Amino acid sequence: MAFNFEKEKLIAELKQRKPKRILVQLAEGIKQNVSEIIKEIENLGLGTEIIVSGETCWGGCSVAVQEARALGADLIVHFGHAKFMEIDFPVIYIEIKDELDLEPLLKKSLNAVENFKTLGLSYSIQHKQDINEIKKFYEGHGKTVFLSKKLGHVAHEGHIVGCQYLGLRAIQEQVECFIIIGNQFHSMGACLAVKKPVILIDVYNNKISNMEPIRTKILKQRAFSIERFKQAKNVGIITETKLGQKFGSSKYLAEKLKQAGKEPIIITMSEITPEKIMNFYNIDGFVELACPRIATDDFAKYEKPILTFREALVALGEISWEEVLEQGLL
Ligand code: SF4
């Protein structure tokens, strides 16, 4: 698959802004394309100094403003994610495009949607250019299709991000099932956030998957972690320094944990990893206020229970598990 990104936008923005030093951030899946990207910028002949961030970059939430300031960069060019939030620093988001022939896979998906008349449709950013054709395809097979709304952190109608599903929830009463174009990451988040069936059109593995068994498995794991966390005396509340990863108030949570007789310690990390957590031997359980997918997706990587903010409130009896399920886990 050829690497394709918003080249015209990049060139126009750089010619207009004429930055002296830029910090380039690349999504994990496109770090292999670093040389191509650098050459593209150098070929403009603007004399711009280019520094590439080697830090991990999992989402549009990870914009390296502190790094850019420390380096004296006057612009960040963030490749591979759509705009996630407003930032008090010059940033250009450059989206990438996966150009694939999706028709065979869409045809294959018709069996999975045969009992549904109304479909909710969402896509991960690499497939934005195909969404009108995909919508037309299903409409041509007698379906009524609604794109998820542009709400919260998403950049476009129908666009999906892994941590917030307001746009899907906004249409869930109108649809009988959701179709997600992309990979397992977004569809897994979606099935934890909405009550209707979620079907993944997995364009990378050429597969159609119903996400229900995964939903059941993860909800069991979450309930298990919440029960284990209730026994914890020393609790680490982990905040990440990434700008867009603020999912809950550490101060509020620390207060609630103290009221419940626990001993909270607020810990900051640039990125949560099992190795970093492992060294806090005396902490019995953690609440992470960074990307909620660390708790939900990486269950097997961590020995101690790790909860999201809302799961911690469930463990403390502030809200019920049923309430969380009703509103969606993510
Ligand atoms: S917080 Fe997590 S899911 Fe949301 S954009 Fe960032 S990495 Fe993706």
pLDDT tens, position by position, 24-60: 999 999 999 999 999 999 999 999 999 999 999 999 9
161 lines ligand 1 (CB under 6 A): yes
Q: What is the pLDDT confidence band of residue 312, given thresholds at 50, 70 and 90?
A: very high
Residue range 248-263, pLDDT digits in tens: 999 999 999 999 999 9
pLDDT at 3 over 80: no
Is the C-beta atom of 58 inside 6 A of ligand 1? yes
Residue percentage of the chain with pLDDT more than 70: 99
Q: Which two tokens stand for residue 140?
A: 């041509």
Which of 28, 57, 61, 85 should be mutated for ligand 1, with most atoms under 8 A from CB? 61
Q: How far is the CA of 222 from the centre of ligand 1 (A)?
A: 19
Q: Which burial class, exposed, middle or buried, applies to 282 when counting CB atoms under 10 A from its CB (0-12, 13-18, 19+)?
A: exposed
- 81 CB near ligand 1 (under 6 Å): no
Q: Examine the pLDDT at 2 and tell me if it is beyond 90.
A: no
Ligand 1 pocket member 190 (CB < 6 A)? no
Residue 22 has pLDDT above 90, yes or no: yes
pLDDT band at 242 (very low <50, low <70, confident <90, very high): confident
The model's pLDDT over 165-204, given as tens digits with 9 standing for 90+, comes to: 999 999 999 999 999 999 999 999 999 999 999 999 999 9
Q: To the nearest whole percent, how much of the chain has pLDDT over 90? A: 95
157-166 pLDDT, tens digit per residue, is 999 999 999 9
Lowest mean pLDDT among 104-108, 244-248, 312-316: 244-248
Query: Is 308 a pocket residue for ligand 1 (Cβ < 6 Å)?
Result: no
Higher pLDDT, 314 or 328: 314
Index of the ligand 1 atom closest to the CA of residue 164: 4
Q: How far is the CA of 226 from the centre of ligand 1 (A)?
A: 22
Rounded Cα distance between 147 and 156, Å, is 10
Closest CA to 225 of 163, 293, 314: 314
Say if residue 88's pLDDT is above 90: yes
Q: Ligand 1: which residue has its CA nearest to atom 5?
A: 59
Edge-to-edge strand ranges of the sheet holding 263-269? 263-269, 234-240, 285-288, 306-307
- This prediction has a pTM of 0.93
318 burial via Cβ count (<10 Å: 0-12, 13-18, 19+): middle
- Of 1-10, 159-168, 265-274, give the lowest mean pLDDT range: 1-10
Question: Does 290 score more than 90 pLDDT?
Answer: yes
Q: At what angle do helices 34-42 and 7-17 cross, to 10 degrees?
A: 40
| 1: pLDDT strictly greater than 70 | no
In our burial notation (b when 16+ CB lie closer than 10 A, e otherwise), range 255-273 reads ebbeeeebebeebebebbe
| Rounded CA separation 218/52 (Å) | 36
